[in-house]
Structure 1
Amino acid sequence: MSTVTTVGALTTRPVDLDADVPVVHAWVTTDRARFWGMRHATVQDVRDDLAATLADPHRDARTGLHDGVPAFLLETYDPTHHELAQQVPVGPGDLGMHLLVGTPVVPLRGFTLAVMRTVMAHCFADPGVRRVVVEPDVRNHRIHALNEAVGFVVDREVALSDKRALISVCTRTAFESRTR
């Protein structure tokens, strides 16, 4: 998928472990990515994590490009095969999503919102997806505001194995109404 935005062209492609692991490692070990829980990860830890995602038939990982340069990581998953399913009603048509926006070389006003809109358009490009479900750390106020900006509504707070999460859902209709 490719989207031309006010900040440039945003595209996604499948993760290439050899090319992308060093870049993703540089992102996840920064303070701004602390909610990914990989601040002290090695390059091998990141490779193993991404390889496990790619090997799992219920998950996917894509590298997001800004004008051809890696700029974000998109992970999607079937929430019925996630610990989330034990606490929140999920089912057919639901898609879980994680987004990590890399450290920008040159900050661009509106960049992260443009990325989020592109990611959500990618998720809803599949006609079978009726809702996108996210479970960010409750302390990650920046992502909560970004989620709300594209149509997510808070469902509840839950305890997951690695965090207290704020479950939010976004329907196709809610997303489309926010991006007209």
Structure 2
Amino acid sequence: MLIAVVCGKPIGIVQIIDPLLEDSHYWGDVEPGLRAIDIWIGEADQLNKSYDTQMMQLALARCFAPPGVTAVLIDPLGNNTRAHRFYEPMEFTFLREQVFGKDRCRVYGMERRVDGSTR
């Protein structure tokens, strides 16, 4: 878990997991080489300041640093249109709707670039 701090104040959290190794098997049966990201920005006054973009860019760089990682998954709630608008321009592709527990989510994925570069 990574904590985003601005001017000494924690403003958000990023969690990166390997869904193949995750104990609860939240993602179900997945192939090796994936990572999943959860990102939270705490207070509403921290939104729309590009902190979320910076946090995601750093998380993606960390995810794709190992050469064996082929793709990253995210699963915002289905009704979280703000999150959908955030992820889609970042090159995440909508894959499917899926219910995790009681939550209907939209699953997005981002594959490693062919040239191997990170975002």
Question: Which TM-score tier does this pair reach, normalised by the shorter chain?
Answer: 0.7 to 0.9
Q: Percent identity?
A: 25
Aligned counterpart in structure 1 of residue 71 of structure 2, from 125, 131, 152: 131
- Root mean square deviation, CA, Å: 2.6
Q: Provide the residue aligned with 1:85 in structure 2.
A: 28
* AA of the residue aligned to 1:85: G
Deviation track 1:85-138 (CA, whole Å, cap 9, x = no partner) reads: 25xxx2111011100012266666333222222222222223332211111110
SS in 2 for 1:97: strand
For the pair 1:62 / 2:2, whether they are aligned, the reply is yes
Say how many residue pairs are matched.
115
TM-score of the two chains, using structure 1 as the length reference: 0.54
Unaligned runs of 5+ in 2: none
Q: How does 1:42-57 map to 2 (within 5 A)?
A: none
Q: How does 1:10-159 map to 2 (within 5 A)?
A: 61-80=1-20, 81=22, 82-86=25-29, 90-103=30-43, 109-159=49-99
Which structure's residues are more often strand, by fraction?
2
Which structure's residues are more often helix, by fraction?
1
SS in 1 for 2:40: strand
Q: How does 1:152-171 map to 2 (within 5 A)?
A: 152-171=92-111
Larger radius of gyration: 1
Unaligned runs of 5+ in 1: 1-60
TM-score of the two chains, using structure 2 as the length reference: 0.78
**Which portions of structure 1, spanning 4 or more consecutive aligned residues, are displaced by more than 4 angstroms?**
104-108
